[in-house]
Chains A and B, each alone.
Chain A
Amino acid sequence: MRLQIPIALGFLAGAFMIVQFFVPYYALQMYYEQLLDWAIIIGAFALVLGLGSLFRSHIDKIRSRHPDYIYSFVALISFAVMFFFGIFYGVNPRTTFDWIFNNIQVPLEATVFSLLAFFMASAAYRTFRARSVEATLLLVVAVIIMLGRVPITDYIKFVDIHGFSEWLMSIPATAAKRGILFGVALGIVATSLRILLGIERSHLGGGGGAGR
């Protein structure tokens, strides 16, 4: 029963979602929207669980004097400050919440994102080696794409690097991506099918398959 009931529920919910896709009748659409509302409500409650987990892990670190417990203080105080200003003074423009968001959150997130530029350069230096034909091809294409993003190459008269890089992006790259996408789409349907039919049960503790 511990396995059967979740599988049956999963099957019913999944079957309903498939049927509603093909049946436009309002009653089904109404239940569909209701189910989506449920999902949002469950998500909101799950956020409480998430916050509980966040607090517990940080409080545990502080209690046990974990080597980096000072950062747990920073996390909890930051949360309390944002919560206080968001709840009591609102989140509209020109509020304290908005000020903190624009002057702390925005630069912090932008900083982490900007690490990408540094990591990309070091990863390119480390791995872009013309070891084989395929690797050489990858290297040459990468260089052409990068040059295509540099406006001054537009002034080179004898070769249209910008046009060639656009062509690479819109024809071969898109074709390759479509190929990957087809495989992914088929994989998604098959995975969904095996979960709906209860063939895959590892997430329910069913031994990684239906077994026989």
Chain B
Amino acid sequence: MISRLPLKTIRRLLLPTAALCLLLGSARAQQQPVEFPAPERLAVSDDPEDLAGRQLVVKWHKPAAADAVTGYRLGGYLVYVGESREGAELSPAQVVPDPQKTETLLSGLLPSKSYIVQVGALYIPEQVTGELIDLNAVAYLRNQGAVEAKSARSGPISPVGALFDPKKTNVLIATMVYCAIVLLAIYFAQRGEMYIRPIPGLEAVNDAIGRATEMGRPILYVSGLSGITDIATIAAMLILGHLAKRTAAYETSIIVPCNDPLVLTAEREIVHQAYIEAGKPEAYEPENIFYVTDSQFGYAAAVDGIMMRERPAANFFMGMFYAESLILAETGNRTGAIQIAGTDADTQLPFFITACDYTLMGEELYAAGAYLSRNPLLVAQLKGQDIGKVLLAAALVVGTALATLSAYLGPDIVKAFLSWFQI
């Protein structure tokens, strides 16, 4: 039958058939299975550096034959994690884009749960240019023909948390010793009178209030420019409490512009309480304690304006101050008011010392509450502070001497002593 067909027709039939055979042959050759080796010797352990109990260390070995896979390159690894319970699935948690890296930290876990971990090696076809950057890239690479080979699962394992950070042992001991000293000082304070060094700035408080009363002018109280979380602001609020009691007794107005709404709320309450205690609740003027702005120089401008308009007889600047300190104090100086400042902001101390009549330096700000109240328990705290300071000075002298000695005798001698002070 074939012989009866014309040559042209035979050619037409044979050529496509041969081409089809060739295509089928090559397709069969491509279907031959390519081996994608998986990561080996997967090991998961608790991270000893992580004291919170949120991390596991995952280690594995690079597949031995990874570089021998023809047509593919090893693009990196995918780390899967899942809870060790019935039916729980592992989900990709992290990408390790560097094929040479064989260790990673799994974070965001919980110490109360146990986990199963698995690592997959991702093989990317050589013609695909994309990289395994993050989890978003995985889906794209899979669409481009990337193949993954997963290791055996490892686990169950739980991260272990610690109930104490051993690096903070020195802080804990120092804090406990100092607190014990302060508490003992307070305990023994009940036995008798305690001498307290006169602080001129605080001695002048009564004069300042008296002057304001005589002149019929108000007192201005600024409690710094930091928030309520700053202990300097809290110290300033405690001083305000003592001061307000005295102004209440003399029925002298006290103006308190605030730059933090939380401080405003607390200070209103403090002044109100002070007026109640002084037996003059009707003299309390809530509108005199008001919010201005949290902008540093906006606040400075507003307080300067108040000083120039209201002409307070006494200005108190207590708490944390920044670059606005001299702008406030110098304006107050110009109005002729008695000025008493107190701050632990050491960079601002020179400005206050220059422009104010009295300045409480550093710790004196914290001593002011005790000084003004003359309560023996509070005064005793100052005694505790002094003992703490002596101990600290002794440690400094010993440390300096040892550090100097170590320069001549070698560092090992004092290493242990000095390392105790490191955090």
Q: Which residues does A use to contact B, with CB under 8 Å?
A: 18, 21-26, 29, 39, 42-43, 46-51, 53-54, 56-57, 60, 67-68, 71, 108-109, 112-113, 115-116, 119-120, 122-124, 126-127, 177, 180-184, 186-195, 197, 199-200, 202-205, 207-212
Contact = CB atoms under 8 A, between A and B. Distances in A.
B75 interface: no
A47 B258 CA distance: 12
Contacts of A205: 270, 273-274, 276-277
A212 B378 contact: no
Nearest to B111: A26
Q: Is the interface of A mostly helix, strand, loop or mixed?
A: helix
Given A183-B389, A186-B388, A203-B266, A53 B330 contact: no
Interface in B247-275: 258, 260-262, 264-266, 269-270, 273-274
Given A193-B381, A211-B375, 19 more contacts: A22-B171, A22-B172, A25-B111, A50-B260, A50-B261, A50-B291, A53-B291, A56-B290, A112-B298, A123-B326, A123-B354, A183-B389, A184-B363, A189-B175, A192-B231, A197-B183, A200-B238, A204-B273, A208-B375
Sorted nearest first, the 3 A-B pairs with minimum C-beta distance are A50-B261, A205-B273, A209-B375
Given A113-B323, A187-B362, A199 B381 contact: yes
B309 A182 contact: no
Contact of B392 (A26, A182, A211): A182
Contact of B363 (A18, A183, A203, A207): A183
Contacts of A71: 305
Nearest to B175: A189
Given A26-B161, A187-B344, A205-B273, A53 B290 contact: yes
B179 A193 contact: yes
Interface stretch (B144-152, B206-214, B365-373, B411-419): B365-373
A189 B234 contact: no
Contact of B355 (A67, A123, A191, A207): A123
Given A23-B164, A112-B297, A202 B290 contact: no
Contact of B287 (A24, A60, A182): A60
B330 A123 contact: yes
A165 to B, nearest CB: 15
B362 A54 contact: no
Contact of A208 (B111, B172, B241, B291): B241
Contact of A23 (B163, B182, B231): B163
A73 B328 CA distance: 24
A195 B165 CA distance: 26
5 contacts: A46-B262, A68-B309, A197-B183, A202-B242, A208-B242
A184 B362 contact: yes
Nearest to A46: B261
B193 to A, nearest CB: 14
B161 A190 contact: no
Nearest to A21: B168
B385 A51 contact: no
Contact of A57 (B234, B287, B326, B354): B287
Contacts of B238: 191, 200, 202-203
A76 to B, nearest CB: 13
A160 B330 CA distance: 34
A190 B366 contact: yes
Given A116-B323, A187-B344, A24 B245 contact: no
Nearest to A197: B183
Interface stretch (B46-54, B56-64, B131-139): B46-54
A205 to B, nearest CB: 3
Contacts of B163: 23, 25
B377 A189 contact: no
Nearest to B275: A205
B182 A202 contact: no
Interface in B332-381: 333, 344, 346, 349, 351, 354-355, 361-363, 365-367, 369, 372-373, 375, 377-378, 381
